[in-house]
Amino acid sequence: MEPLADMLEIITCAILIFVSIVGNTCLFFSTRRCISGPLQPSLMIIFSLVFVHLLKNLVVNIMKIVYSSGGMLDSVSCKILRFTETLSTQLAIWFMLHFAVLYHHKLYQIVHPANETLNLNHQKRHLKAVSILWITGFGICIPILAFTEKLQHLNGANDTGLLYTKGLNMDCEIDFGNRQVEYYYEKIFLVLIDILPLTILVFVCFWIVFLLWEQRRLTYGGIWMGDDASEIEIFRGAKVSILLTLLITSLWISHFVFICFLKNLESFPFTPALLTALSSSFSAVSPYVLMLVNYKVKLEAFCCRKTEKFTTQPTNVLPCPYAS
């Protein structure tokens, strides 16, 4: 069954790579066309997510294809694989949390407007946070890059079943020279680094749902009275945050559960492909969802604002009416 398992994983990786490249490329150029003036924090986060998603698919999944095709990985390849896989997963969760917090704050300002005007320090803090997340992610994953080694000997008789599910992880192991340190770092610390942000992300999204419910109570006849195009982007960004939170949380939990309870599944040939799909589906699907954030603003509000400089319209006509 091993050739079948390898073939299924190669097909899954190829599909994910193609879908991710198309989606993230479209997301990058569609977001770039929305830039007018200084780079906004939301756009910076989206650009960071695009890079993380492409990093995961163009490095991790391509190396999985090479491995499943019969290619051998040396110690350098093992270091790059484990480092990139861990870093891209962590940063995707952290940037999603930052994205949700940003739109929660914007939505809160609409539902509960403050008396003072919002200064530029708030935007600068969010932009600095993106850089801090990148630096922190690299710092946490440096031990993986330094101590990951390719094992030279495997007990084929005992590990035959496991090779269907953990071939790469068994060939490329973190070796600190101390099993207790390895356990605390890989099994506890790296897991907590993902679980804690995911827990906060879920809490923030519940708060966003509550704010959206409050916003609906403030409408008149079901129609929001404001005609500021930025509000469309805020409402869409808040709703997209909820959708992406459900996606990334369900995928991460499912992947974690399968890894922890693989004893009953390791003999099935579809298991490697399933694990790959769970670990990389977010990087392939989320770009298409994120494009919804600025879609209406780009086509209706932003483009209309650009033409307002050159054309005049009657005062009784809305310059950028909302679409249904």
- The domains of the chain are located at 2-305
The pair of three-digit structure tokens given for residue 120, joined into one six-digit string: 């530029």
Helix (H, G, I), strand (E, B) or coil at 148: strand
CB pairs under 8 A, 24+ apart, for 120-128?
Answer: 123/38, 123/40, 123/41, 126/41, 126/44, 126/98, 126/102, 127/39, 127/41, 127/44
pLDDT of residue 118: 53
314 confidence band (pLDDT: 50, 70, 90): very low
Confidence band, pLDDT 50/70/90 cuts, at residue 37: low
Most confident of 123-132, 175-184, 276-285: 276-285
DSSP class of 37: S
Residue with the bigger pLDDT between 265 and 206: it is 206
Longest dimension (CA), the chain: 81
Between CA 168 and CA 63 the distance in angstroms is: 10
Query: In terms of pLDDT, which residue wins out, 279 or 71?
Result: 279
Task: Evaluate if residue 145 carries a pLDDT over 70.
Answer: yes
Question: Is the separation of the CB atoms in 211 and 238 below 8 Å?
Answer: yes
Indicate if the pLDDT at residue 149 is higher than 70: yes
Nearest to 16 by CA among 287, 294, 318: 287
Q: CA-to-CA distance for 279 and 133, rounded, in angstroms?
A: 21
Q: To the nearest whole number, what is the mean pLDDT of the chain? A: 79
Residue 161, pLDDT > 70, answer no
Query: Above 70 in pLDDT, residue 264?
Result: no
pLDDT of residue 50 exceeding 90: yes
Is 1.10.760.10 the CATH classification of the domain at 2-305?
Answer: no
**Confidence grade of residue 40 (pLDDT, cut at 50, 70, 90):** confident
Residue 220 sits at φ, ψ, to 5 deg, of: -115, 110
Residue 56 or 154, more confident: 56
The gap from C-alpha 75 to its chain's centroid, in whole angstroms, comes to 28
Helices and strands (H and E) in the chain: how many: 13, 2
pLDDT of residue 323 exceeding 70, the answer is no
The residue that leads in pLDDT, 230 or 236, is 236
Minimum mean pLDDT among 45-49, 61-65, 302-306: which range? 302-306
pLDDT computed for residue 167 by the predictor? 52
User: What is the pLDDT at residue 175?
Assistant: 81
* Mean pLDDT in residue range 55-61: 92
According to the 3-state scheme, what is the secondary structure of 163-209? HHHHHHHHHEEECCCCHHHHHHHHHHHHHHHHHHHHHHHHHHHHHHH
For residues 82 and 266, what is the distance between their CA atoms, to the nearest angstrom?
21
d(CA 185, CA 187): 6
According to the model, what pLDDT value does residue 128 have? Answer: 87
